[in-house]
Amino acid sequence: MTPSDHYAVFGHPISHSKSPRIHQLFARQLNDDIVYTAQDVRPECFEVAVRTFRAGGGKGLNCTVPLKEAAFRRADELSDRARLSGAVNTLMWRDEHLFGDNTDGVGLLRDLTLNLGLSLEDRRILILGAGGAARGILGPILEQRPEEVVIANRTLSRARELARRFASLGTITAVGFDQLEAKPFDLILNATAAGLKGEIPPLPDGLVATGGCCYDLMYGDQPTLFVRWGRAQGAKLSTDGLGMLVEQAAEAYLIWRGRRPDTRPVIALLRQGGQPRQTERKC
Ligand code: ATR
């Protein structure tokens, strides 16, 4: 009997990862025989864990927080989008050559445009946060030619650095949270890690345009604080990042196995019993 192809997600912490379930659902849908596991790997153990996984016949890896930069450094070859974002979330061996890609940005974009039907062209977009998550989504967002992207971050210098890095791709401004005018945005994306500590960035009222949307790159079994903030601010749509998670996983699956799973039934299944996809404004 041929052994199943083995994939894994490395991260720390990892116990709550939904990736094994998502990839098992993809494999079932496409009649593929794969094993996908989650491994708790600290950054200092990354190199050894990668080598051990490969020695055991592993085919490809996903890397999540805090390993995306280490995966970027480890890859022998990078896709253009991985190089631009400075982070890798998908690794694949081509013989012994390790190819690194980043599917986060395209995953977000597919969720926003295909699943939620939003257009980013000529829109005013606010990105909260200037860490790895923000860097991973900026390129694909700017490709959609929004009118303007404002990056707001607690540490202004990091927002400025990010704005400089992507300046050639569109109109980007960097501000601190205290400099955020209550100028309305069509889309506000939360790419901060504040939710992990049960916080949201300090935001003034009036930031959400009429018909505007809020999107949290994080997700949880309950609506996140930011999703609730968006709802309270009257957003037409305020949703978490579960759709992005499934879409970035489908892109990784495509890279590894050459076939793209249908994401909609998987998103619907993961939503079952959890919060509804969107919180519509009542007025
Ligand atoms: P990730 O890869 O998840 O983006 P990161 O690179 O450590 O992780 O970045 C975390 C982001 O969340 C940063 O923008 C950080 O702000 P600073 O650059 O000022 O550190 C932001 N962040 C974390 N905790 C926050 C909080 N309590 N309030 C606001 N922003 C926060």
pLDDT score at 281: 32
Give the atom of ligand 1 at the shortest distance from the alpha carbon of 154. 19
Please name each of the domains of the chain with its CATH number.
Answer: 5-102+245-276 (3.40.50.10860), 105-240 (3.40.50.720)
**Cα-to-centroid distance, 161 and ligand 1 (Å):** 14
**Cα-to-centroid distance, 256 and ligand 1 (Å):** 31
Summarize pLDDT for 23-47 with one digit per residue, the tens: 999 999 999 999 999 999 999 999 9
**Cα-to-centroid distance, 132 and ligand 1 (Å):** 9
pLDDT score at 61: 98
Give the atom of ligand 1 at the shortest distance from the alpha carbon of 177. 29
What sign has the CA pseudo-torsion 40, 46, 52, 55? positive
Q: Which residues of the chain have pLDDT under 70?
A: 1, 273-283
Burial class (CB in 10 A: 0-12, 13-18, 19+), 73: exposed
> What Rg value do the Cα atoms of the chain yield, rounded?
19
**pTM: predicted TM-score of the whole model, two decimal places:** 0.93
Give the atom of ligand 1 at the shortest distance from the alpha carbon of 133. 4
Q: How many angstroms separate the CA atoms of 144 and 170, rounded? A: 10
Catalytic option among 18, 59, 68, 197:
68
The protein residue with its alpha carbon nearest to ligand 1, atom 27, reads: 194
pLDDT score at 280: 36
The protein residue with its alpha carbon nearest to ligand 1, atom 5, reads: 131
Q: How many angstroms separate the CA atoms of 55 and 49, rounded? A: 10
Q: Residue 210: how many CA atoms within 13 Å on its side-chain side?
A: 1
pLDDT score at 272: 86
Give the atom of ligand 1 at the shortest distance from the alpha carbon of 197. 27
**Cα-to-centroid distance, 131 and ligand 1 (Å):** 6
Clarify whether 68 is annotated catalytic. Answer: yes
The protein residue with its alpha carbon nearest to ligand 1, atom 21, reads: 192
* Average pLDDT of the chain, as a whole number: 94
**Cα-to-centroid distance, 235 and ligand 1 (Å):** 23
How many beta carbons lie within 10 A of that of residue 255, not counting itself? 17
Summarize pLDDT for 4-16 with one digit per residue, the tens: 999 999 999 999 8
Mutate to test the pocket of ligand 1, among 150, 161, 192 (most ligand atoms within 8 A of CB): 192
